[in-house]
Amino acid sequence: MLKVKNITKKYGELLAVDNLSFEVNDGEIFGLLGENGAGKTTTFRVIMGLLEPNNGEVLLNGKNIDYNVTDEIGFVTEERSLLTKLTVQEQIEFYGTLKGLTIEEIEKRLDKWLERFEIKSYKNRKIKELSKGNQQKVQFISAVIHEPKLLILDEPFTGLDPINVKLIKEAIIELKEKGCSIIFSSHQMEYIEDFCEKLIILVKGKPILEGNIDDIKENYAKKNILIRGNNLEINKLNNIKGVISINKVKGEYEIKIENKNVAPKIFEIVKEWDITKYDVVEPTLNEIFIESVGGIHE
C-alpha cells in the first residue's frame, strides 16, 4: 500500500503541491487529475524520491521510499526516458538488469510483452526507428518488466491511438488484478471514467475533489434528465425552479437540474406528453471536472 501523507512542495515561492494526502491499496488503480501545471508530475517526483518535499512523507508498505525500495517501483515519466540508439531488446535488458533480473528471465518476459503489444518484429530494431506509439509501448514494458508493486504512469495514454490505448489499459488492469498498485495522471477524463476506482482532482496543487468515482458522481448534486419523444413542448420546462439548462443533443433533450428533487416535478409534466424516453442520469466526470476547475478560477 502507498501512503502519501501531507506532502507540500514549493519551487521558490511557487506552491506546486499543497498539503496533499491519499492512499492507494494493493490492486487499486488511482487517478491523479488536473490541468497543465496542477502539480501531477511534481507529486510523482516526490513519490519516486526524485524530489525532496518541503513537508510530508511517502510510505510504500510502511517504509520510506529510498534506494532500498526502488526495485519495487516502475514508472513512465512525462519526459520519457528511452535510450533511442539501443534496440528494443538492449533497452529492456538494460532496465531489467538494473532491477536485478537475469538476462534469461528478461528475455522470457520481453517476448511475452512484445507478442501482447503486437510489436514482436521490432525486437532488434533501434528505438529511434519506432513510431511514437510503439516507443510508448516499449517505455511501458521497461516500467513493468520487473513486475513492480507500485506502478506510476505520468500521462501514459498521450499520443496513443484508441487501439493502443486499449492494449495498455488491458495490461494495466491485468497488473492490478495481480495486486500491483497503480497511479496514473491524466487531463483527459475519458481515460478515467471506466477505469480507475479512486481519484483526486488537483487545482494549483490542492485537491479539490477526491474519492471513489461512483461516490463522487452520486454526491454531486446536479443531475441530467434525458427526454425523447414527439411534439414536446419543451419550453414549458424552462419555468420549473431548479432547471439549469435545456439542450438538444442528438435528437433528445438534455435537461440539467440542480438536484434530484427537481426530477419528479419534471416527470409530473412530461408524463402527459408523447415521450419514448425519460432517464435521470449522473453527470459525466468531464462535466464535474470542468465545473470544479471552473469554480476555482472564478
Task: Tell me which residues touch ligand ATP (CB under 6 A).
Answer: 11, 14, 16, 34, 36-42, 78, 187
Which of residues 37 and 133 has its CB atom nearest to ligand ATP in the complex? Answer: 37
User: CA 207, 208, 209: angle at the middle one, nearest 5?
Assistant: 100
In the complex, minimum distance from the CB of residue 261 to ligand ATP, in angstroms, rounded to a whole number = 37
State the nearest-atom distance from the C-beta of 95 to ligand ATP, in Å: 23
Q: Closest distance between ligand ATP and the C-beta of residue 100, in Å?
A: 30
Is 96 or 205 the residue whose CB approaches ligand ATP more closely? 205
Residue located via cell numbers 425552479: 241
Supply the minimum distance, in Å, between the C-beta of residue 158 and ligand ATP: 9
Comparing CB distances to ligand ATP, the nearer of 17 and 262 is 17
Residue closer to ligand ATP (CB basis): 37 or 229: 37
Looking at the Cβ atoms of 42 and 224, the one nearer to ligand ATP is: 42
Residue-wise DSSP of 85-129? TSBHHHHHHHHHHHTT--HHHHHHHHHHHHHHTT-GGGTTSBGGG
- Among positive and negative, which fits the CA dihedral 238, 240, 244, 246? negative
Smaller CB distance to ligand ATP: residue 36 or 239? 36
Nearer to ligand ATP, 11 or 94 (CB): 11
Cα separation, 286 vs 290, in Å, equals 6
Q: Is the Cβ of residue 130 or residue 160 nearer to ligand ATP in the bound state?
A: 160
Rounded to a whole number of angstroms, the minimum distance from the CB of residue 44 to ligand ATP is 8
- C-alpha separations of 37 from 18, 42, 76, 181 in Å: 13, 9, 18, 24
Query: Considering the complex, what minimum distance in angstroms separates the CB of residue 38 from ligand ATP?
Result: 4
Instruction: Write the single-letter amino acid at 218.
Output: E
For the CB of residue 143, give the shortest distance to ligand ATP in the complex, in Å. Answer: 18
Minimum gap (Å) between residue 22 Cβ and ligand ATP = 15
Residue 51 half-sphere exposure toward CB, CA atoms < 13 A: 20
